[in-house]
Amino acid sequence: TPFEDKIRTMLDANAGFILTKDQHEIGQAILEEVGHFSLTDGGKRLDTEQEREQEQEQEKEVKARRDQQVEVEKFVDREYSRQEETPRPWPIHLLAQRPESCDEQHPFYPLRDFHLRHQEPLAFPSSLLLSRNYFNPEWTGLRRVKNTVMILEWAPSTEHLRLLTSEEHA
């Protein structure tokens, strides 16, 4: 029977702890008792009861794993906000204005002002701008940043083109 096999395996595995002849005889007596019991109807009930308990334990473990997975999924859904993520179109004439000189909310802001929550911004040149459609600094909560890169070099007037000094670049 499975129970008898389990007892025998345990006795064999722990043979180093069975030091005296009396201890060995006790182990053999237990094995004989289990063997006699397994031949009776009570032994069959014991085996089925053990199997039932093992099945119940396995079901509990599977349910606990499933519940834990659902909790993680719910946590991930709650953790990251997806509100107000739809791209907002902006008038093209705003490209001719610098963000700081614009009366209405400019669709771009300096890349050096970009940072995620609890992080420090990187020191980008002031000439690099970031779209509010990519990441709006007014958003609250955690956000997953999209892996998108697009660079548009725009010069509204060639009269103002010149190289930046090192102070302006910083």
pLDDT by residue (tens digit) across 113-140? Answer: 887 777 888 888 887 888 877 676 666 6
State the pLDDT at residue 156. 67
Distance CA 35, CA 11 (A): 15
Distance CA 31, CA 41 (A): 17
Which residue bears the tokens 């420090």? 120
The SS3 assignment for 75 reads: helix
Distance CA 63, CA 61 (A): 5
Whole-number mean pLDDT of the chain? 77
More confident of the two residues 8 and 73: 8
Q: Which two tokens stand for residue 96?
A: 């001719």
pLDDT band at 83 (very low <50, low <70, confident <90, very high): low
> H or E segment at 47?
helix 41-79
More confident of the two residues 74 and 135: 135
Rounded to two decimals, the pTM is 0.40
> H or E segment at 53?
helix 41-79
Helix (H), strand (E) counts: the chain: 4, 2
- How do residues 17-61 score in pLDDT, each as one tens digit? 889 999 999 999 988 888 877 666 555 566 677 788 888 999 999
pLDDT of residue 78 exceeding 80: no
